[in-house]
A and B are shown apart, each in its own frame.
Chain A
Amino acid sequence: MASTQYKLPTLAEARRQVFATIKYALVVAGGIGTALPFIWMVLSSFKTNADIGRIPMHWFPAEWVPQNYAKVFEIMPFARFYLNSIIVGVLTTLGALLICSLAAYAFARIRFFGRDIMFMLILTTIMIPWWVTLIPAYLVIRQLGWLNTYQGLAVPGMLNIMGIFLLRQFFRTIPPDIEDAAFVDGANRLQIYARIVLPMAKPALLTVGLMTLMGSWNSLVWPLVISQHESMQTLPLGLAVLANLAGWVRHETGALLAATFLSILPIVIIYMFLQQYFIRGLALSGLK
Chain B
Amino acid sequence: MASTAAESGGGLVARVRARLPVTNRRDNIAGWLFISPVLLWILVFTAYPLISSLYLSFREWDPLFTDEYVGLPNYAELMEDRIFLTAYRNALVYAAITIPLGLVWGMSVALAVQHIRGRAFFRALYFLPTVTSSVAIAIVWSFAYQQDYGLVNSLLRYVNVQGPNWLGHTQWALLSISLVVVWAGTGFWMIVFLAGLLDIPPEYYDAAKVDGATGWQSLWRITLPLMSPTIFYYITNALITVWVQFEIPFVMTGGGPANATLMPALHLYREAWDRLKMGYASAMAWVMALIIFIITALHFGLSRRWVNYDR
Binding site for B on A (CB under 8 A): 1-2, 4-5, 19, 23-24, 26-27, 30-31, 33-38, 40-41, 44, 52-57, 98-100, 102-103, 105-107, 110-113, 115, 118, 122, 125, 127-137, 139-140, 142, 156, 158-159, 164, 189, 193, 214, 217-218, 220-221, 224-225, 235-237, 239-240, 243-244, 253, 256-257, 260, 263-264, 267-268, 271-272, 275, 278-279, 282-283, 286-288
Contact = CB atoms under 8 A, between A and B. Distances in A.
B42 A125 contact: yes
Contact of A129 (B138, B272, B288): B288
B42 A37 contact: no
Interface in B242-266: 243-244, 246-247, 250-251, 254, 265
A132 B126 contact: no
A135 B23 contact: no
Contact of A30 (B53, B126, B241): B126
B108 interface: yes
Given A54-B149, A135-B282, A189-B34, A34 B125 contact: yes
Contacts of A225: 273
A146 to B, nearest CB: 12
Given A30-B109, A53-B149, A257-B143, 6 more contacts: A37-B140, A54-B149, A56-B149, A103-B35, A224-B273, A240-B251
The 6 nearest A-B residue pairs measured at CB: A112-B31, A136-B49, A106-B34, A218-B133, A133-B49, A136-B52
Given A1-B212, A56-B154, A240-B250, A218 B31 contact: no
Given A130-B244, A135-B282, A2 B46 contact: no
Interface string B89-132: 00000000000000001001101110010000011111111111
A282 B23 CA distance: 35
Given A24-B116, A37-B151, A279-B191, A260 B139 contact: yes
Contacts of B38: 99-100, 102-103, 122, 159, 164
A99 B37 contact: yes
B131 A38 contact: no
Interface in B178-198: 183, 186-188, 191-192, 195
A9 B135 CA distance: 53
Nearest to B240: A287
30 contacts: A1-B212, A23-B113, A27-B116, A34-B125, A34-B128, A53-B148, A99-B41, A106-B30, A118-B35, A129-B289, A133-B45, A133-B53, A134-B49, A136-B50, A137-B45, A139-B52, A139-B63, A140-B48, A159-B45, A218-B134, A220-B246, A221-B246, A240-B139, A243-B142, A243-B251, A256-B139, A257-B140, A263-B135, A279-B127, A283-B188
A287 B244 CA distance: 12
Contacts of A132: 49-50, 53, 285-286, 288-289
B122 A31 contact: yes
B285 A111 contact: no
Contacts of A24: 112, 116
Given A131-B265, A159-B45, A268 B37 contact: no
A76 to B, nearest CB: 13
Main secondary structure of the interface of A (DSSP, over half): helix
A40 B144 contact: yes
Contacts of B135: 218, 220, 236-237, 239-240, 243, 263
Which of B29, B45, B282, B286: most chain A Cβ within 10 A?
Answer: B45
B191 A283 contact: yes
Nearest to A217: B133
Given A40-B144, A129-B292, A253-B143, A107 B126 contact: no
Contact of A131 (B32, B112, B288): B288
Contacts of B105: 30
A166 B22 CA distance: 24
B246 A34 contact: no
A174 to B, nearest CB: 16
A260 B138 CA distance: 10
A286 B237 CA distance: 8
Contacts of B79: none
A33 B251 CA distance: 21
B122 to A, nearest CB: 5
B111 to A, nearest CB: 8
Contacts of B53: 132-133, 135-136
A236 to B, nearest CB: 4
Given A57-B149, A135-B282, A136-B53, A260 B136 contact: yes
Contacts of B183: 33-34
Contact of A158 (B41, B126, B251): B41
Contacts of A19: 215
Given A129-B292, A264-B136, A267-B131, A112 B45 contact: no
B237 to A, nearest CB: 6
B49 A140 contact: yes
B203 to A, nearest CB: 20
Contacts of A99: 37-38, 41
A5 B211 CA distance: 10
B140 A41 contact: yes
Given A132-B289, A140-B44, A287 B237 contact: yes
